[in-house]
Amino acid sequence: MKKISLFFSDFHCGSSVGLMPKMDYRRGNGGIYNPSHAQNIITDIFYECINKFNDIIDKNTKGKKRPKIILNLVGDLCDGGNHHGSTQFVISRLSEQRRIAIACVKYLIESLNMKPGYDAVIFYSGTPSHSGDLCESEEVVARSFQDYVIPAIKPSSSNDGKLTHNHLRYNTNGQIFDVKHRGATPGSRAWIRENSLLWTIKSLHIEEILNSKEPTSWYIRAHNHQFTRAIYGNGNKQITGIILPSFQLATTYVYHMSRDIDTRFGSYGAFGVIVDDDGNATEIFSHISIDKDDIAIAL
């Protein structure tokens, strides 16, 4: 059976420049929040990614059983309420941010026509400054989708389990995925953008071979909001490293910390890999470019 692994990360729900469904949001205090122009830009990208993935899934379904979807949500679904001195929040209360994140994940699952028992969702813990001291935001969101979730610790009659993964390595038709929120980082200059990622996957690949471990095929990390790709090796011994894009526009903190204008705007979108019955893999990437002037106006 064909299987498609999709990777979405860094929604930063609750941020004034993070992902926000296109609806009036009623706060716990009764007030109503309408998504900003900046949030609508990000949400349009989110919708476009889903539509693109659905088109690809449809093409791989004609006359056949639909590929199984493995949806990976790779951390920082909420923005948190106390980081970097920021005041750029729709609302800083974590319980409200989690409501927004749940709405986004629900929309994603329903729009992909995912079926419990056939498809699966894997949640990953994010960064404590965004997700809480124990990265509990992802855990709380995951518990709204237990029919789909592959848990880190399976719940039982005597244990409520743990649904989120800090780090997961899984096998799809012979392709090995190594997934975690944080890892290699993009370089700060154009000519070294891939260096850290390349040396990281090279080291991982060599260590696995030396230790007689099945080599990783896909090294997937998030957190940096800059899509980066590197490849080491070839053929069956190839490893591809990916740093995922995000669904959050640059915050004031990023504007102050970035060294140049190009790194301020990050990358927006999601990534996927289709693996056929024979273990052959095909990348699918929905990466959206936004005109910087449009973003400046939106902010």
* Confidence (pLDDT) at 297: 40
- The number of domains in the chain is 1
Q: Which residues of 194-209 are buried (b: 16+ CB within 10 A; e: fewer)?
A: bbbbbebbeebbeebe
* Confidence (pLDDT) at 130: 64
Range of the domain at 13: 3-167+246-298
**Is residue 238 in some structural domain?**
no
| Best CA proximity match to 73, nearest among 219, 207, 271, 206 | 271
**Is residue 76 in some structural domain?**
yes
- Looking at the DSSP assignment, which residues form a beta bridge with residue 126? none
* Confidence (pLDDT) at 197: 93
Length of the chain: 299
Higher per-residue pLDDT: 92 or 297: 92
In angstroms, the CA 253 to CA 88 distance is 10
- Looking at the DSSP assignment, which residues form a beta bridge with residue 219? 178, 241
**Is residue 188 in some structural domain?**
no
Task: Please give the C-alpha separations between residue 116 and each of 69, 97, 120, 148, 273, in angstroms, as whole numbers.
Answer: 10, 25, 7, 5, 20
Higher per-residue pLDDT: 29 or 233: 233
In angstroms, the CA 82 to CA 284 distance is 35
**Is residue 212 in some structural domain?**
no
**Is residue 264 in some structural domain?**
yes
* Confidence (pLDDT) at 114: 97
Higher per-residue pLDDT: 8 or 286: 8
β-bridge pairing 25-26 and 3-8: unpaired
Per-residue pLDDT for 132 more than 90? Answer: no
Q: Write the pLDDT tens digit of every residue in 166-183.
A: 999 999 999 999 999 988
**Is residue 139 in some structural domain?**
yes
* Confidence (pLDDT) at 37: 86
Least confident of 29-43, 44-58, 261-275: 261-275
47 burial level (CB within 10 Å; 0-12, 13-18, 19+): middle
Per-residue pLDDT for 120 more than 90? Answer: yes
Find the mean pLDDT for residues 282-296: 63
* Confidence (pLDDT) at 8: 97
**Is residue 192 in some structural domain?**
no
Give the highest mean pLDDT range of 30-39, 121-130, 141-150: 141-150
* Confidence (pLDDT) at 256: 53
Give the highest mean pLDDT range of 74-78, 131-135, 292-296: 74-78
**Is residue 240 in some structural domain?**
no
Q: Write the pLDDT tens digit of every residue in 182-239.
A: 888 777 777 777 889 999 999 999 999 899 999 999 999 998 888 899 999 876 679 9
* 284 and 53 Cβ atoms separated by less than 8 Å: yes
Per-residue pLDDT for 298 more than 50? Answer: no
* Confidence (pLDDT) at 296: 45
